[in-house]
Structures are given as C-alpha cells and as structure tokens.
Amino acid sequence: ETGVTQSPTHLIKTRGQQVTLRCSSQSGHNTVSWYQQALGQGPQFIFQYYREEENGRGNFPPRFSGLQFPNYSSELNVNALELDDSALYLCASSLFAGQGTDTQYFGPGTRLTVL
Amino acid sequence: AQSVTQPDIHITVSEGASLELRCNYSYGATPYLFWYVQSPGQGLQLLLKYFSGDTLVQGIKGFEAEFKRSQSSFNLRKPSVHWSDAAEYFCAVGAPQAAGNKLTFGGGTRVLVKP
C-alpha cells in the first residue's frame, strides 16, 4: 500500500510569484485535504477536494486554489505569494464513504519559503 | 466554530517515566477526536482516534487517550516514555464537511525526553 506522497520537498520563491504543490493520495482514498502549518503552530485547514470539486474551505483567500484529478491526486496553487505564505504545506488523503468517520493520513509535506 | 487547546507548549520527561498530554476541545456536536505525532521536518502520523463507544482508546506505540465529555477533554497518556517519543504532538477535532472531516488542530505540545 502506497502512502501519501508530496512534491517537491522544498521550494524557494520570491514575493509575487506563483507556486504549485502536488500530492498523490494513498491507494484506495478518494478525498484530499490541504493544510498550512506555519513555524511553531498547528496545521490550519485550507480546503478539501472530493470528486474533483472543492468541498469545504478554511479561512484562506481566493489566491489559494486547488485541483483534484480523476486518479484522486491533487494540486495546491498559490498566486501572488506573500512572505506569510512561508510554511509547511501538508496534504492528507482519506476515504469518504458517506459518513463523518473518515481518518486523514498525511504526507511528509512541502516546505515553502517566500523571500 | 470548533477549537482545540493544548495548554502545555513544552513538556520534559525522563525516559521510563509516564507522560500525559492535555487536550481540551470546543465543539457543538459529538466530536471526532484525533492525536497525531510529528517528528522534526516530517508529516503527521496518526496515533489514535475516537469516534464513539469506549471512552478509553488504544493507539500505536503504546499510547492511549481518554475521552471525557463532561470535561471536554481528550488527554493522551503513555505509561513509560522511550527516547524515540521525543516529538511534537497535536490534538485535533474533526468537523464533518460535505465529503469528510475538516480537522482543527491545537497548537501542539513539544515533548523532550531526558536520558
């Protein structure tokens, strides 16, 4: 069974640039959630994707957007990068089967640094 | 809106001693509760979860947690700590979205293990 993988591992960008982060979900999972973890803090929910549509969003501006593909992999896109976007971005996959008792399994994260 | 508080930012414990990490949550309905562990530079690993039923939950690596509805708490315990338990621990509450849970995390507790 393959776990959740993310790429790249590390990324350095400058203010105003755009970035795309990628996530492959665990085998058998159909839902992907993205979280932002700033240094010294707990992860914060960005949004969740199911059946290639956004289902649930946290308190993040529209310049944070995403995609989910037919194979359940996902991308997180951030436009007009700001210094405060520097963080560890975590992807989590889960199996939604019509109940709320799903469990999210996390990837290793992508460390984004904005200069 | 749901919230999670982990009152202890740092805890130092001697190897072989017992460990208890506190977690208090605020949520209007029956909570789904999770504990995750994060080693430096890594993603989150699920230790255990509570959905319903027995309020004492067993997890991996010898950890257990007890759900106390009257105290809105979900404290994590381990009877005898190993040096490899040094990490950051996050408590989370799950709020069902359209296709799975949105996790709200506490700020984390960093555990240091003394030889």
Tens digits of residue pLDDT in B74-100: 999 999 999 999 999 999 998 876 667
- Is the Cβ of B39 closer than 8 Å to some Cβ of chain A? no
* Contact call for B43 and A96, based on CB within 8 A: no
* Contact call for A103 and B98, based on CB within 8 A: no
With contact defined as beta carbons under 8 Å apart, do A5 and A105 qualify?
no
Shortest CA distance from B10: residue in chain A? A40
pLDDT by residue (tens digit) across A51-87? 899 988 999 999 999 999 999 999 999 999 999 999 9
Closest CB from A41, A90, A96 relative to B107: A41
pLDDT by residue (tens digit) across A14-64? 999 999 999 999 988 999 999 999 999 999 999 999 989 998 899 999 999
Query: Residue B79 to residues A25, A54, A100, B88: CA-CA distances in angstroms?
Result: 34, 42, 31, 18
Q: How far apart are CA B24 and CA B72, in angstroms?
A: 6
